[in-house]
Amino acid sequence: MNNNIVRLTGLSHRYGTSWAIRDINFEISEHGVLGLLGSNGAGKSTTMNIMCGVLNQTEGTVEVGGFTMQDNPIAAKKLIGFLPQNAPLYMELTVKEYLTQCAYLRLISKKDVPYAVDKAMAKCGVSHFKNRLISNLSGGYKQRVGIAQAIIHEPRLVVLDEPTNGLDPNQITEVRKLIKAIGEEKSVIFSSHILSEIQATCSHVKMVENGKMVFADSMDAFNNYIEPDSLVMSLQNPPPIAALENLDEVNSVEVISDTKFRIHFSGGPEICERLIYRGIEQDWKMREITLEKSSLDQIFAQLSNKSPKN
């Protein structure tokens, strides 16, 4: 049985003579939060807009819940909740008025609208502001209302384009929790150009760069994509810096303190074992040795320059 909610095949789109995205292929399973990562202008919003039926692609197909966006757009869109980069909020309405309007737009039956509105407000933590004008809400609560309109009709797929953009750290933390909670019941696609946001929120990641898919795997695989090339070592009786620099596979030594050093090396992480033995032989009195994972920024930079893969 195929549990995929979305399938993109050969998706390409051109603005004028320039391709915004080219030959994007991927599937998304039911439930969980998937991160769509890429720098500004990489093609994330174009991909999401096409997926949600806001934009007609130049080439390729979008299938949502078994319905193709080209042949059955209404059936496909009924399964999707979408929060674009700029939340479509009516500032002159109260939260309840706005969500009621959204419920009708989503073709929820009149008798079910009050329940749907109350449920969405409760899920997104805005019930206590139901009679407040949206214009008087903080940025974080405006985003919550935007997410509420995206889930009010109980879609199977929720698409969130840069939902934490412009929020302060506390607001970001709360929106992250909300997105994770939604991902327990639905399939969520969450786009960002901020690596830490994807890392904190998503279990799987797909990366688009220059309009092409360059990575698709779990978050753990993404974090471990590049072998570590540095370590931190604490020595109670350190040797001269030159002695460390002259060791095999050591490229450079950075002095952190009188007893703590960062070693940049080539080769594999087996260097740790060799340093431990050397330390015992020469009485360095080693207190700590820790491999440093490559930063997500390094991974981002390397993947951006790799050949595209799907």
194 versus 241: the higher-pLDDT residue is 241
Nearest to 103 by CA among 115, 87, 88, 92: 115
Count CB-CB contacts under 10 A for residue 256.
11
* pLDDT greater than 60 at residue 127: yes
Contact between 144 and 126 under an 8 Å Cβ cutoff? The reply is yes
User: Residue 305: its pLDDT value, please?
Assistant: 61
* CATH code for the structural domain at 4-223: 3.40.50.300
* pLDDT greater than 60 at residue 307: no
Q: How many CA within 13 A on the CB side of residue 284? A: 24
User: Residue 1: its pLDDT value, please?
Assistant: 44
With a pLDDT cut of 70, the percent of the chain lying above it is 92
User: Residue 31: its pLDDT value, please?
Assistant: 81
Work out the burial of residue 107: count CB atoms within 10 Å of its CB; fewer than 13 is exposed, 13-18 middle, 19 or more buried: exposed
CATH 3.40.50.300 boundaries in the chain: 4-223
CATH 3.30.70 boundaries in the chain: 230-293
pLDDT of 149-197, one tens digit each? 999 999 999 999 999 888 888 888 888 999 999 999 899 999 988 887 8
* pLDDT greater than 50 at residue 103: yes
| From the candidate CATH numbers 3.40.50, 3.30.70, 1.10.3470, 2.40.160, the one assigned to the domain spanning 230-293 | 3.30.70
